Structure formats: structure tokens, C-alpha cells
Amino acid sequence: MTLTHDVLIAGAGPVGPLLACELRLAGASMLVLEKADDPHSPLKRLPFGLRGLTMPNIEVLDRHGLLDAIAAPSAAAGAAAHWANQPRRPGGHFAGIQFHLDKVDRSAWPERPPGLPSPPLAVELERVELERVELALGARAEALDAEIRRGVAVEDVEQAEDGVTVLAGDARYDAAWLVGCDGGRSVVRRAAGFTFTGTEPEFTGYSVEVELADPALLRAGRHHGPAGMYTFAPPGVIAMVEFDRGAAHRVEPITAENVGAMLRRVSGVDVVVTALRQATTWTDRAFQAGVYRRGRVLLAGDAAHIHSPLGGQGLNLGLGDAADLGWKLAATVRGDAPANLLDTYERERRPVGAAVLDWSRAQVALMRPDPGSRALATIIRDLIQTSDGASYVAGRVWRMGPA
């Protein structure tokens, strides 16, 4: 096999470009293949594209000089935040139950070395746009002479002893290694024969921007209803989940009528959706690859693990995969890595992924609209209002406390 690159990466945002940056900094030659022609999407911008960053990933982005580039404009973030007018500043939430910054005790956390970002920065960067993160990482990768080739859909993968071939239309790409960063419906994962197992969804989630006949009928903020839970940011941004075992996800058409019917079921309020501007659906399906490496093919990001977006851990989990894998794969490519170095990628990152999936499942358990879950949520709410409870959740959310 004639190898054209050291590494091929399937998927250009945001895990793939960060991995490309790490590989290029170490001198590896690589090519990123991305099926989408255009990196821009309204679903990646405010309000739907809101994401948070953990401290380890803030450090990685700071090392690349990207924090200013990815910080969302404060005015836009404030306009989309249902908590903006609260007298106490929340630092995040668990299953919609907020913890507040004035209850968080940082004294038990490791001391930050001089020059490194501090935990309060995690709060300032808790509302960044996914599109800004992707574009900043893509620009950084290209500045390091990484090529991102768009409009190229990976269709199949062939492995040999000394390399991997990716088939995309009439084109063939050969490299020593392939990393699938191509999302939850990863073609690389399927084509390379990885197993993918976990728990099926309990709910269908909708994130929508709508026009309502009477917005005053809905209360701003997060609320539980007879069939699920909803969050309303007036005049028309709504996130809601209905515990239907995922029946409506990618099955029921996303129309104003269907969204309105779901909103009435979830909220218990006779509200009418008059127009649908933007919408997307999601579930709490939680699956993980059985291994993160098969021969010369590796997985990172949503290709390796999927879960609900509750708590905003998906972006961080994927970026953490890329940061860990990048230097190890580069050292392997150079030939100066210990024989088992690449094996440590799975040993270190798969347990982190499993813990995040369980963190997501635990939130789903508290959100169920049954009396037992509602009673348990009341107890958890009381605990989160204590300093110990708020500090524990903050440590998990910001990746400053226990794993």
C-alpha cells in the first residue's frame, strides 16, 4: 500500500479539527474528510448551539490561543439565558436542578498553577456557540497546514496490515491510521466492525424556536408537566422532552402542529404554536463502542459514545478524546512511542465516557414524570442547595472534582 498520509480523520467538527491540530503540532501528516459542504448551520448558533466547556478543555483551547475566538458575545448569551434575571447566579444544573455559584466551595480542588485558567472562567465560558468552536478549531488546524476536504462522504473502510483505505465515491484515500470522528451515526464505526451497545431512549427531546399565539400562557424557566419537562425562554425558544421512549425522534414530521401538540402534552397548558422557525429533535439514547481501536482504526467523540445533551457534556467528552489521542497517535506515527502507548487511549478515555453516560442516565431518572422520580428530585434539589452538594455537582460539571 502506498500511503499518502500518516492519519486520515473522518469528520470536521469539532473533534476532528482539534485532533488535526494536535497531530500537526507533532509533525504528523494528515487529511480531514468531511461530508458536509458548509460548516455553517443555524442549529450550531445561539440559542440551539449553546455549549459549555470544562476546565481541561479550556486549558487545551487556551494552549492553542483560541479562548477569545470561541467566547460567545455576552449580550447574545444573556438574551438566550432564562436565568439572566435571577438574583443568584447559577453555575449549571443537574437534570434541570440548578446549583449556584455562591454555594460552591473551591478550596478542596487542586491549586491552579500560575498562568492557567481558573474555575470561574468555566462559568464565563459556559455559554459558547458550537459553530464558533468548530470554526476556530478548523482555522487553527488549517493554519498548521492541515487540509480539511469538504463534500467528501466516507462510504467504506478497508484495513491492511500496514494501513487503511477509505472509499469515498470514486476516490480512495490511503493512510497508516484512520480516526472516526464522524458522529453518532458513524460510517467509520460501522464499516470497521466496532460494536456499539447501551440503553435505548426513554424520551424524545425537541429544541425549537416558535411563534406562540399567547406566550404569556407559559412561564419562563424550567418546569415539569404531566408528560415530561420543558424550558421556556420568551418569546419563543423552547426545549422540551416527552417520555415516549423516543417514538417521535426522526419518525414524526417536525411541524408547527406536531410541536404544538407535544408542548401541550408536556406542559399541560393549552398553548398554540402559530409558526415554526427552527427545530431539531434528540433523545437520551446512551451507547458506547465496545473498544476504541480495531487495528489501525480508532474512534473519538460521538463516534465512540452518544448520550443525551443534558448538562452539555458531549462536546467536552469528544474534545477530551482528541486531546488524549492526538499526542499518542503522533508519537506512534513518529516511531518513538512505547509499544503499548496507543492502548492507553482506550484504557483512559473509555471509563471517562462510561461515567458521562451514567451521569446522563442519572439525570433522565430524575426527570421522569412519575411520583417516585419527582420525590427523589425534591431530595436532590435540597442537597444541591448545600455547599457540599453544589461543590460536588460543580466539580463534575467543570471536571474539577471526582471523575
Query: Could you report the per-residue pLDDT of 296-330, keeping only the tens digit for each?
Result: 999 999 999 999 988 778 899 999 999 999 999 99
Q: Kindly give the parts of the chain with pLDDT less than 70.
A: 1, 72-86, 112-113, 116-126, 401-403
Residues 208 and 255 in one domain: yes
Angle between helices 313-334 and 55-63 (to 10 degrees): 50
User: Is 239 inside a domain boundary?
Assistant: yes
CATH assignment at residue 209: 3.30.70.2450
| Sequence-ordered strand ranges (E) for 76-155 | 90-94, 97-100, 128-129, 147-150
Beta bridge partners of 231: 222, 239
Same domain, 210 and 270: yes
Whether residue 380 lies inside any domain: the answer is no
Distance from C-alpha of 2 to C-alpha of 10, rounded to nearest angstrom: 19
DSSP labels for 159-225? EETTEEEEEETTEEEEEEEEEE---TT-HHHHHTT--EEEE--S-EEEEEEEEES-GGGSPSEEEE-
Query: Which domain CATH number covers 292?
Result: 3.50.50.60
* Alpha carbon distance 249, 197 (integer Å): 19
Whether residue 253 is contained in a domain is answered as: yes
CB atoms under 10 Å from CB of 378, counted, come to 12
Q: How many domains does one find in the chain?
A: 2
Instruction: Determine the pLDDT at residue 121.
Output: 58
209 and 65 in one domain?
Answer: no
Give the pLDDT of residue 34: 97
Do 171 and 298 fall into the same domain? yes
Residue 64 in domain? yes
Q: Do 17 and 60 have their domain in common?
A: yes
Q: H or E segment at 325?
A: helix 313-334
Residues 322 and 293 in one domain: yes
Domain housing 272: 204-283
Residues 229 and 303 in one domain: no
pLDDT of residue 74: 43
99 inside domain: no
